[in-house]
Structure 1
């Protein structure tokens, strides 16, 4: 018995010692609440904690304490739980519905509410959106324990005056990928050598989610379940303050806001947000970090121009988003120019800022509520002063693309109304600033160097043909998209079926039918024909399915078409004769069978995991088509004869000569290579094709003008194209452009790859227009000397095969519905392209 008691005393002493490094100032703790160390069996910072253990610990806190409840707001692609721990006094939690209702009054522009002493401030402490920036989730455990277990008067006061929403891990899939890696390579004793494997994570690394998306760019675009779950939660609660904890390079220190000046000339967020409130909270962070001897910096590098960050989206919702960046230990201990940086040290800084955020928010509760209400009132006032009263767009033929755009508007709680011929989005609404975000475009900027994109007019992502209007007739409010675009059920035919290819989901239907071994042809010329639903004109690329040519019987075919229509909601038509009223007949040579793609994608070191993930995600989640992901390290032994399409995204392809020749020979045998951005440049540099890059001749006699060294980073940075939207002329008769009805469409460019138009008159699919700029920053030199003379898509022959080269990224962040079709056409129809000599 004495021995057991001694063990308990030693354990408690050890735990208190470990805890004191983090929170010695906020004792005493409730001994009945287990600390993270006691629950996990190791001290915080000794190992990286798996997400399931994080969730289990928070669940334990909710079970043993009346200060906390745990809810699930979603699941990741890999099925991990997304959870929120709500912490406050027992009285506040029992009265949470009433408090919520009072809180939400401050998000209503018509309200005249005033903050009262009994109304707590709502704070969302959010952690670990980048999976391999792990210190913050460990800090979340310490923060949760502090507010659930501490009986320190300061903590009790915060609980009375705040409702805390602790989101411990925004990106569980990425975190666990990194956690497994860091723990697997952890040494004993710890190895601080920066060259050790522990500090050099393998591709694709843990920053991103399952499909290698950066979730800290997804708040606006709402592509992934992690973001969609969080957005639905967010618009239920509208917290006053939101944290966004990150890590940066090991040679740095610690960053908190204020950020670098917003790059927009006239930011849509209120000046009070990015000046007054940021500076107010900064004073608190400086004092807290000073007290523990931590160095820090502000107002550099990071900017909140792009509205899709975890630290910028709240700024457009009446809250205050706050960014923190901690120098990373990239493992458990690492040597830097400033000495050794340890995992516990990084955690302590994040934990300190967590507690300080609550302190600053509580002590300025009335100010934050006044600001929140004024934010929404000022939106209405701005809308009333603006000449633009709404944005309108028509339904058109591609209804599923429109539906996807409507979904984006609704998830941000933007009001949309349906009219007789389309939709209107009124500007006079609580989400006025989000309406601006979706539709407004800019060509003048305060800055020229951006941490991320300088263009994000989401309507252009979806190739929406919209216009600003000064007056409009109100329509029917749109709330449910389930039955918004009903299609007539397909009738059965014993002759043939035709599927409209203008719809975004037509490619998914094509894949669905090919997976069921149904032969599908593509119309290389338009035609008008009698259908069971009346006479109809079909555009380039329309899918033709003759009944008699199938290996399966007519009933099997009809059932498959019904299943496809039910799944993808695409218009389909039965025809009883191949004789067209206008244009080619169904037996024409211009109606050609489509070869089923057997696709592969190169991945691995040097390859852009973002772009590779975008391809994988597109095919998995929208087309439901498998693609083989081929690691570069295995190329020497891969049998390429299994594939007829290969995708190469941006990357540094340092392939040996034997492997290079292997891929080139495979293309020459009649296969299709699709290259995106830097991979297109690589192909040209390798001289696989006779195409060229756009260049300008420089005068060798030019004298370099001396410039201040301090300006070098800014001057060099502005020459890169960080992300802007441009207009291209599209050959809509080309198979790569099948399904498009407008000859001019927006494209997204975030690189400096300039493709010279092909010398072959039929090989340039898309070229930038004479006046291409739509949205975003680009230098005059890049615009006039490189972009305007260049092509966006060209095709070139290699033997019997071909390379389809994209200068831009048609799948950017999973959001470019407007250009996805170009890539999918390359995948499914690329082998159909014949390039005349």
Structure 2
């Protein structure tokens, strides 16, 4: 990143010491009159924006006030966050357009449908989605939204009236309400009467996990494609409802930087993004440059960031016929901070964001026909390039995983069909009712191609985000990208969860296969009721049906519930967990009998996770979300600050997510060792490998990339080092399905997501390597040649005994961003079956 000097003399509103009075004239354009009937921000907030960080409740209060007072604004609540905060959207346009808004929307959507050539784009409004502060502690965006909304609601004159007549603005004042509220509380709590710009002040050092993330500590700017979070689902529904032509995403970056706007680094643009998209982005950039030149703010473009991963707000629009634009403002983080370039104030950052919001609208208005024509051309070309045939994906043993991928596709307005009849192709079996078909010849073909693609060749070796995200692999589904279109059955208009066969009452026992995604949820529901359950260590056949490793047996006898009560409970669990139970009448089977010692008794698990300073919030949040939202399992969060005085004996399992530095000191480490020796199972992720090795939790050999820089210039040094990392790629591993960590997987190979360079050498004893990368493991994504050689035949899983307990290591994130469904069960297996490993 290149740093540019921006305004070093503080703008008139502040000085180091007492805070001076600030007024709206600092922000608003000159020569614009404002309607006195529309409330100013300070009339509702009690202060001028920039004096304090706006809390989400005050932000939405002001937005509701504007909607009540201005006929240019309509407002809707699209749902709530996990913490119950509303997800508001303002639709801003002329009063006349407000009266025919639905007609405008329908006409606009016609541009994405072949045969729309008769529409005159010169007479159509352009649609712009403006979104602010998806990272809660990048607050200048949402604070600028106060000013932008006021300007659009109250501004008068021919220029703004023409703009509103020809533009529909979808205005999202806070993309992350929970994070914004958390950060505003922090910044305001530490504000002094005499503003202190010292970067070492506590104001600039948020307590863990910080305000960047949402309730479950997710980076929501990575969820535009997977749409796993309520905030994402609301904005994606809005996006597809309107198909906006431009989407802006207001962020902050390091305090020593100026202001960035796209395009980013040209060679890091995804190949599926049309060149015209980048050309239009560059032309829009000239409007930003002119606006920033006018107010004297420095900026840069095309030297940072990229448009590769389609799951970001600035890139997702690019594969949907729109233009995504990232804004990055050097952050004051609090109210005023010393930087390499002088004092950076909060009002200054707000003014830059506000300026970019207005320059976007000016560009949209002036380039209206050109951008509307591009949208029509994008979808015409998508149809023409789609080709024939279809994709098919499914899992005959796990209909729920396939259903959840179909659910994502439906949210993205992809056309999904049933499988017409059972299909056998390329050695894979697809069963009607557990598989789905996606025709290629459809409006969203380019998006589907982007979601399903495998790619191993790249123009650049550096990525701002992950380099691979192929969804069929994320869900560990059988997949074929070129089946005959006749495989497509009825189109699915309303997706329904897979139906389970009704449980037949038994007086002997019930069997539950472990393949289903929600099997851990069902088992936990049984164990919570203190019912006896056992796991099969070997396959067997009962009543003509084959049961695999990991099948769960619930005996009828010697339970606290009578047979009728147990039947009613199993029926309830079957419905709630969407999983099938089979009643059996005899213990005599082919293979192990139901009374065999190869059925091991399971106990209720009480699980804790270490969180706090030193632990990666993203990784911890993904685990918390998995337990709480997917499996309805309790998870106790143990803060690193208090671990030394915590009673660990209450827990059967403790999870250590990825961490950095010295998250745990010597005394906490010794305490964990004692707990493991007494029978606990410690499960570590990623950098826990170094912690486990250094502190003698387990022995392992870590392989390192020692490649030396040759013919690399000083200027190229960062690119060279960056190319040796793994930003996120997909790799193939072999599975020993007889090992408990792999229970519930039907294939002998599994795709794993990896974003680390932690390589563990395989054990010399083969059965200690139940998951092992193949000799040629790369499926999709970027990895340097030296690292590709290193990863071959290494192991991403390791287990060691310690006293009466277990230490388990996963070098890869099995819960990545809540959409890597295919490996969630590895963690559940470690928890429920750790003692059997």
TM-score range, shorter chain: over 0.9
CA apart distance, 1:641: 0.3
1:495 aligns with one of 508, 519, 526: 508
CA apart distance, 1:697: 7.9
CA distance in 2, matches of 1:440, 1:634: 45
Kept after mapping to 1: 8 A contact 2:406/2:436: no
Counterpart in the other structure of 1:627: 635
Q: Write out aligned runs for 1:2-21 (5 A).
A: 18-21=23-26
The DSSP-based 3-state class of the residue aligned with 2:232 is helix
Residues 361-419 of structure 1: per-residue CA shift (max 9 Å, x gap): 011110011000000011111113xxx63212344110111111111111111112212
TM-score, with structure 2 as normaliser: 0.94
Kept after mapping to 2: 8 A contact 1:140/1:351: yes
CA distance in 2, matches of 1:113, 1:214: 42
CA distance in 1, matches of 2:453, 2:115: 25
1:646 aligns with one of 635, 646, 654: 654
Alignment of 1:460 onto 2:473: yes
Structure 1, unpaired ranges of 5+: 1-13
Distance 1:254 1:696, change over 3 A: closer
Counterpart in the other structure of 1:676: 685
The DSSP-based 3-state class of the residue aligned with 1:314 is helix
Counterpart in the other structure of 1:480: 494
Kept after mapping to 1: 8 A contact 2:129/2:247: yes
CA distance in 1, matches of 2:771, 2:700: 15
The 10-residue stretch of structure 1 (46-55 or 18-27) with the greater mean CA deviation from structure 2 = 18-27
Q: Write out aligned runs for 1:54-203 (5 A).
A: 54-203=59-208
CA apart distance, 1:155: 1.2
Q: Write out aligned runs for 1:641-790 (5 A).
A: 641-652=649-660, 654=662, 655-695=664-704, 705=710, 707-784=712-789, 786-790=790-794
Kept after mapping to 1: 8 A contact 2:712/2:720: no
CA apart distance, 1:544: 0.3
Q: Write out aligned runs for 1:225-236 (5 A).
A: 225-236=230-241
Residues 2-32 of structure 1: per-residue CA shift (max 9 Å, x gap): xxxxxxxxxxxx9996111001425211001
Kept after mapping to 2: 8 A contact 1:653/1:682: no
Kept after mapping to 2: 8 A contact 1:684/1:693: no
Kept after mapping to 1: 8 A contact 2:653/2:682: yes
Counterpart in the other structure of 1:383: 386
Counterpart in the other structure of 2:432: none
Alignment of 1:255 onto 2:263: no
Kept after mapping to 2: 8 A contact 1:106/1:113: no
Kept after mapping to 1: 8 A contact 2:121/2:373: no
Counterpart in the other structure of 1:510: 523
CA distance in 2, matches of 1:263, 1:293: 30
Alignment of 1:817 onto 2:817: no
CA distance in 2, matches of 1:113, 1:599: 62
Distance 1:15 1:159, change over 3 A: farther
CA distance in 1, matches of 2:661, 2:437: 47
Kept after mapping to 1: 8 A contact 2:697/2:807: no
Kept after mapping to 2: 8 A contact 1:594/1:832: no
The DSSP-based 3-state class of the residue aligned with 1:491 is coil
CA apart distance, 1:680: 2.2
CA apart distance, 1:552: 2.4
CA distance in 2, matches of 1:821, 1:479: 30
CA distance in 2, matches of 1:115, 1:209: 42
The DSSP-based 3-state class of the residue aligned with 1:791 is coil
Distance 1:16 1:433, change over 3 A: farther
CA distance in 2, matches of 1:709, 1:395: 51
Structure 2, unpaired ranges of 5+: 1-18, 423-434
Distance 1:24 1:376, change over 3 A: closer
Distance 1:549 1:756, change over 3 A: farther
CA apart distance, 1:72: 1.1
1:585 aligns with one of 583, 593, 611: 593
Counterpart in the other structure of 2:406: 406
CA apart distance, 1:764: 1.6
The 10-residue stretch of structure 1 (561-570 or 608-617) with the greater mean CA deviation from structure 2 = 561-570
The DSSP-based 3-state class of the residue aligned with 2:117 is coil
CA distance in 1, matches of 2:519, 2:718: 46
CA distance in 2, matches of 1:152, 1:685: 69
TM-score, with structure 1 as normaliser: 0.94
RMSD of aligned Cα (Å)? 1.6
CA apart distance, 1:554: 2.2
Counterpart in the other structure of 2:12: none
Kept after mapping to 2: 8 A contact 1:262/1:305: no
CA apart distance, 1:232: 1.2
Distance 1:279 1:697, change over 3 A: closer
1:35 aligns with one of 18, 35, 40: 40
Residues 734-760 of structure 1: per-residue CA shift (max 9 Å, x gap): 111000010111000001111111234
CA distance in 2, matches of 1:614, 1:304: 25
The DSSP-based 3-state class of the residue aligned with 2:766 is coil
Counterpart in the other structure of 1:801: 805
CA apart distance, 1:684: 1.6
Counterpart in the other structure of 1:431: 444
2:831 aligns with one of 823, 827, 831: 827
Alignment of 1:349 onto 2:352: yes
CA apart distance, 1:695: 4.2
Counterpart in the other structure of 1:607: 615
CA apart distance, 1:115: 3.2
The DSSP-based 3-state class of the residue aligned with 2:446 is helix
CA apart distance, 1:480: 2.1
Residues 122-169 of structure 1: per-residue CA shift (max 9 Å, x gap): 111111100000000011110110011011322111111111111000
CA apart distance, 1:681: 2.6
The DSSP-based 3-state class of the residue aligned with 2:505 is coil
Alignment of 1:564 onto 2:573: yes
The DSSP-based 3-state class of the residue aligned with 2:522 is helix
Residues 289-340 of structure 1: per-residue CA shift (max 9 Å, x gap): 0101101111122001000111111111111111000000010010111111
